[in-house]
Structure 1
Amino acid sequence: MRVAIVSETFLPKVDGIVKVACLLLDHLTARGIEVMLIAPRYGENRHYNDTPIRSLPSIAVPLYPEARLGFVTTGLFRDIAAFQPDIAHLFHPAMTGIPTMAMLKWLGVPTVASFHLDYARLASQFQVGGLRLDVARPLIDRLTRRVFNWADARLAPSQLVQRQMQHLGIRDVGLWRRGVDAAAFHPRFRSSAMRAEMSQGHPDDTLLVYVGRLSDEKQLEHIRPALQQLSNIRLALVGDGPARKRLEQYFAGLPVSFQGYLRGDRLASAYASADIFVFPSRLETFGLVVVEAMAAGLPVVAARVGGVSEVLREGITGYTFESGDTSRLAQGIRAIAADREKMRWMGRQARAFAETQSWTAIMDELIAEYERLLSKN
């Protein structure tokens, strides 16, 4: 089988979409499936491990310079035709994916489109000349419905997003669940040195951790009331993004450390060296970092977005709250932090759940979906 993967983003950018794309590329290669990646040019890399990258000319997104818009060319059509894919998987087709899907349709290649980013809701946090872009939400929703229904198969990352897609009028939406590498994220990576660094030399305090992009939709400022209300609580923010400077000013004078982007063993150690994972985001399609934190043995306090309600058991592996409810966020932290033995017990329950969420099984389910689609075509 030959598979073309089409993504709107890739390395060296770091986010959940890129992480899933890398995991998929690695898994397909391990299964002996030939893969080509098509993505906007972010760097000069021509390969990701054994996968050739077909980089497209790109420019930075004006309102979101971390992202890039890729432009298809006639050369891409020739490259796709030469590769002769049996199937193509498009990660939330937009500027790059839509014209690429047209090429794939012309060549008769079956297509799978997976949902990764709610562009309609994301637009509401931007404005141009005083005009908020949420006025474009109906148009974006209509375009999303048309593009996904144009694909031969459609996949959602969580049951919540599956229902939202169906509500938009997207037909026959399947599930492509998310998993975790329970060996890469594990309590054994707990480190007294990392804990001292993250807690700014106060390792005996309760240490909250957030991992992810520092951007407006993550609503990290909602953690401040808990820091002000609860004693002996500290916060470590792992990641970077456009909101970092504003957040550094917002949390000035509070026990908050900014760790920047971490990878590999240092990221695993950051998870395992904390006590509670906090996730106040208002916009997610799944929330991979929640399951990574659980694999590291942390109880979680998270907003009910994306796949959070599907992976957390209330009072057993963590607590959930409606996005924006800072009082419930603080209550969840307090309920865990007040009892160290309960905290450890909840962490063990979280780890036990994460061990059941194997990426290998989930990626094999996706390959089975490819095979099912090919059998129909």
Structure 2
Amino acid sequence: MEKRLPFFLRGLEGSDWLNEERGRRLMESRTAEQSSGRVRIAIIAPSLKWVGGQSVQADLLVRHWQNDPAVEARFVPIDPTLPRWLVWTGSIPYLRTVLRMPFYLMALWRALGEVEIAHIFSASYWSFMLAVFPAWLVARLRKRKTVINYHSAEARDHLRRWRSARAVLRRADQIVVPSRYLVEVFGEFGIESRALPNFIDVDRFSYRPRRPLRPRLVCTRGFEPYYSVDVVVRAYAEVKKKFSSARLVLVGKGSREAEIRALVRDLELADVEFAGVSSRETIASAYAQADIFVNASWLDNMPVSILEAFASGTPVASTAAEGIRHLGAGTRLEAGAKRLSRVLALLLVGRPRAVVAGLSVHAEVLGPGARAQSLEAGSGFAGRGCGWRTNR
């Protein structure tokens, strides 16, 4: 006899959608019986509807664990697809969040009943409360181990302001972060975490040394305030004065896109392309066609975009956001449009220091076996001999 639904899902009792979910649950439970002996993990994260750091990392984990003899991974999106009769709400931000919640909770309850570990990708502030807290709570009710994979560079402010977030994090079985920077931030609040760096699918990128460097710049950061794409545009304006053949490709979208387009018009800049959002299948071409990757973020952690640039052989000129400082070799860390433009000019007139550093990073970080090592570390952390311990 099937167990009664938890109180927060009983409003769906008797619906066609719930009946379909129960049928799917039965099929999946039979499949699970056939895969006994493997560590079963639910990866809970944003879907690739919106390409971003968390969604890309989650997708990589799920795909590379598909044929792992010791790990069975399944994906639970924090932004589940709504039924057809509710699709019209997708363009209404707050309403779609409210309507998605019961479907998200139902998916969590079903998936976490069939796994041993909940691996929850985390942002900060309200995203933490609406996505991470429900997943952690359902995992606790299901008596499952929890890994919170925290990715936000806003961690210090988030943890200082939100006592509830600190309480949840201290009760997670493990916390993993992508950089030593966040390990240090969590340590300031007495919360222990473990650094498990971001990784990329190097097979999607073709490494090409840039000799000589051409003034072909690319930025693949979103048009959001903390990425400061306006600083990239202003730095490009300075470079354009010295190198008439310079061009800039901006890949992405965001809330400040109209302002960035207006800035390009006001500065009367030529050869600036707004390429829109690239999928994981096409992003490699953006780096392949450029000779320098430019980043101007003032708040950052461990950008996947910089790792992608390294994998492509594209030298990186970047501002010195706290998390990026830990990346070290392969970047030129400067602040402000003027200083960033000077670094770009130095690269273009033949100062090879950053280019050499970029080569060493490719060899050390993204060389043979790096992906396998990352996956091995991830699967080991996920449950094999990692010594589960609650952060209390």
TM-score, normalised by the number of residues in structure 2: 0.74
1:285 matched to 2:315: no
Q: How does 1:35-114 map to 2 (within 5 A)?
A: 35-41=73-79, 43=81, 61-62=93-94, 70-72=100-102, 75-76=106-107, 78-80=109-111, 82-83=113-114, 85-92=115-122, 93-114=128-149
Residue 224 of structure 1: how far off its partner (Å):
3.3
Q: Supply the distance in 1 between the matched residues of 2:187 and 2:381 (Cα, whole angstroms).
A: 19
Match of 1:358 in 2: 370
Amino acid at match of 1:212: R
Change (3 A) 1:68 1:363: farther
Match of 1:19 in 2: 56
Kindly indicate which of the two structures has a greater share of residues assigned to strand: 1
Amino acid at match of 1:22: D
Residues 286 and 306, structure 1, Cα contact 8 Å, conserved in 2: no
Match of 1:49 in 2: none
Residue 350 of structure 1: how far off its partner (Å):
4.5
Change (3 A) 1:24 1:306: farther
Q: How does 1:136-151 map to 2 (within 5 A)?
A: 138-140=160-162, 142-151=163-172
Q: How does 1:1-377 map to 2 (within 5 A)?
A: 1-7=39-45, 9-32=46-69, 33-41=71-79, 43=81, 61-62=93-94, 70-72=100-102, 75-76=106-107, 78-80=109-111, 82-83=113-114, 85-92=115-122, 93-118=128-153, 138-140=160-162, 142-170=163-191, 172-187=192-207, 206-230=215-239, 231-232=242-243, 233-252=246-265, 253-255=268-270, 256-264=272-280, 266-305=282-321, 307-313=323-329, 317-322=330-335, 325-339=336-350, 345=356, 347-356=358-367, 358-370=370-382, 371-373=384-386
Residue 264 of structure 1: how far off its partner (Å):
4.9
Match of 2:23 in 1: none
Residues 70 and 96, structure 1, Cα contact 8 Å, conserved in 2: no
Unaligned runs of 5+ in 1: 46-56, 122-133, 191-203
Residue 353 of structure 1: how far off its partner (Å):
3.9
Residue 278 of structure 1: how far off its partner (Å):
0.6
TM-score, normalised by the number of residues in structure 1: 0.76
Residue 221 of structure 1: how far off its partner (Å):
0.7
Q: Supply the distance in 1 between the matched residues of 2:256 and 2:262 (Cα, whole angstroms).
A: 10
Q: Secondary structure at the match of 1:298?
A: coil
The C-alpha deviation readout for 1:158-217, integer Å capped at 9, x for no partner, is: 0111111111332x2111112233331123599xxxxxxxxxxxxx96011111322221
Residues paired across the two proteins, number: 330
Residues 331 and 354, structure 2, Cα contact 8 Å, conserved in 1: no
Greater shift after overlay, 345-354 or 88-97?
345-354
Residue 137 of structure 1: how far off its partner (Å):
7.6
Residues 161 and 285, structure 1, Cα contact 8 Å, conserved in 2: yes
The alignment yields a C-alpha RMSD, in angstroms, of 3.4
Residue 58 of structure 1: how far off its partner (Å):
8.3
The C-alpha deviation readout for 1:53-80, integer Å capped at 9, x for no partner, is: xxxx9895459x9x99952466346514
Residues 118 and 285, structure 1, Cα contact 8 Å, conserved in 2: yes
Q: Supply the distance in 1 between the matched residues of 2:256 and 2:364 (Cα, whole angstroms).
A: 32
